[in-house]
Amino acid sequence: MSNDPFKKRWLVQYLGESGLTQPCLQAISAILNSGILPEQATIVTYAADTSSNRVQQNHLFLFWNWGYAPLIVIPSGFASGYSGEGPSGFALAICMIREKGIPINGTAVKEPVFNAIDKGKIIYADDQIFKDIKAESETCHWPWYDWVPEDYEEALKRGRLWYHPYLQSYTPTNPVYLTIANVDLFNSDVGKKLRLAEDKIRKGEQAEDWQNAGLLIRDAWIELSQCLCDLEKIDTSDIEKDKVIDKLKKLKLDERILNLAKATFDLSFKVYHDRKITKEVAIACVRSSIFTIQSIVLKYLDQKGEFK
């Protein structure tokens, strides 16, 4: 079934809460970390004159074709033109989207149109207003340069977005998903496998789900070890694909971290092959691997002088 909003009367989906930055950031984080990325993001803006004769810009986000949802609206938890949580959250939202490689465009609209979208008064994705916004925004080069502070831009450029002090304190994800996001910045394939494994143990209901989580963890370790060796130009042609520890040994890791890696990697084999595996053992396997992999990544970046 096509999810093209202009071929079928699809309902608009709303995530977040109008006027509140944190729920809107949480919604954007959920979309970006779901394992399925939207095709495009659009910033919809209107400028309002304030009592101090200062122009404040209010913003909401549209995400196009996310899975089976042709249009997701993240309402106006964002603003710019002043200092405070709204602009900081807006800059973070833009950086989060850019970090995932999703195209961003935008357009300005009049206040009645903005409010109609923001308050959920336009319920169909094929409404003419959304058609016009999509057509107009694709001709614009947004976001504007002054919406994102230089230190955010630098963090994004260096692949250190989530280590920015403000972003660390404001991260709208739980510790496990934040850890995965850190890994994801280093290697998106490893991060994706970890995220899928965590989802398996959180949402799964039977031993087969736990086994699949073990398989994903095994594959994440294989991907990581090969990635690190490739970065260091270490020849692994004489090492079998699944000999993760043999590859990690070539990196001269701290012995304690290497022992953790061996324990969690070995456990992933047990989880994958044990048809009677329990959820508790699967959780131990997945989460210990997630945090150990992050430790290896951060240690590697620190040695290269890329983690500050």
Q: What is the pLDDT of residues 176-217, one digit of tens each?
A: 777 887 787 788 889 889 988 988 888 888 999 999 999 999
Task: Write out the two tokens for 162.
Answer: 């989530």
Residue type at 202 in one-letter notation: R
pLDDT band at 36 (very low <50, low <70, confident <90, very high): confident
pLDDT band at 146 (very low <50, low <70, confident <90, very high): confident
Q: Using CA atoms, how far apart are residues 168 and 150, in angstroms rounded to an integer?
A: 17
Q: Using CA atoms, how far apart are residues 239 and 262, in angstroms rounded to an integer?
A: 16
Q: What pLDDT is recorded for position 308? A: 43
Residue spans per domain, the chain = 13-173, 178-303
Q: What pLDDT is recorded for position 64? A: 95
Assigned architecture for domain 13-173: 3-Layer(aba) Sandwich (3.40)
Q: What pLDDT is recorded for position 166? A: 57
Q: What pLDDT is recorded for position 114? A: 94
Sequential DSSP letters for 109-125: --HHHHHHHHTT---BT
Q: Using CA atoms, how far apart are residues 75 and 157, in angstroms rounded to an integer?
A: 27
Q: Using CA atoms, how far apart are residues 148 and 36, in angstroms rounded to an integer?
A: 25
Pairing, β 104-108 against β 40-49? parallel
Scan for tokens 């989906």, then name that residue: 13
Q: Using CA atoms, how far apart are residues 304 and 159, in angstroms rounded to an integer?
A: 14
Q: What pLDDT is recorded for position 1? A: 43
Helices (H), 146-203: 150-157, 165-170, 175-186, 188-203
Q: Using CA atoms, how far apart are residues 280 and 288, in angstroms rounded to an integer?
A: 12
Q: What pLDDT is recorded for position 173? A: 52
Q: Using CA atoms, how far apart are residues 184 and 190, in angstroms rounded to an integer?
A: 7
Q: What pLDDT is recorded for position 229? A: 93
Q: What is the pLDDT of residues 39-98, one digit of tens each?
A: 999 999 987 654 445 567 889 999 999 988 899 999 998 877 555 556 788 888 898 899
Whether 105 has a pLDDT exceeding 80, the answer reads yes
Report, in this order, helix, strand and coil percent for the chain, each rounded to 5.
55, 15, 30
Q: What is the dihedral of CA 307, 222, 249, 290, to 10 degrees?
A: 50
59 or 171, which is more confident: 59
Q: Using CA atoms, how far apart are residues 239 and 131, in angstroms rounded to an integer?
A: 55
Q: Are 271 and 211 in contact (CB under 8 A)?
A: yes
pLDDT band at 285 (very low <50, low <70, confident <90, very high): very high
Whether 306 has a pLDDT exceeding 70, the answer reads no
User: Which residues are paired to 69 by β-bridges?
Assistant: 66
What global pTM score does this model have?
A: 0.54
Q: Which helix (H) or strand (E) holds 30?
A: helix 21-32
Convert 247-277 to b/e letters by CB count within 10 Å (16 or more is b).
bbeebebeeeebebbeebbebbeebbeeeeb
Q: What is the pLDDT of residues 218-277, one digit of tens each?
A: 999 999 999 999 999 999 999 998 899 999 999 888 889 999 999 999 999 999 999 999
Q: What pLDDT is recorded for position 133? A: 93
Contacts of 3 (CB under 8 A, 6+ apart): 10, 65, 67, 68, 69, 70
Q: What pLDDT is recorded for position 224? A: 95
Q: What pLDDT is recorded for position 3? A: 57
C-alpha distances (whole Å) from 243 to each of 17, 138, 218, 250 are: 48, 48, 11, 12
Q: Using CA atoms, how far apart are residues 62 and 14, in angstroms rounded to an integer?
A: 10
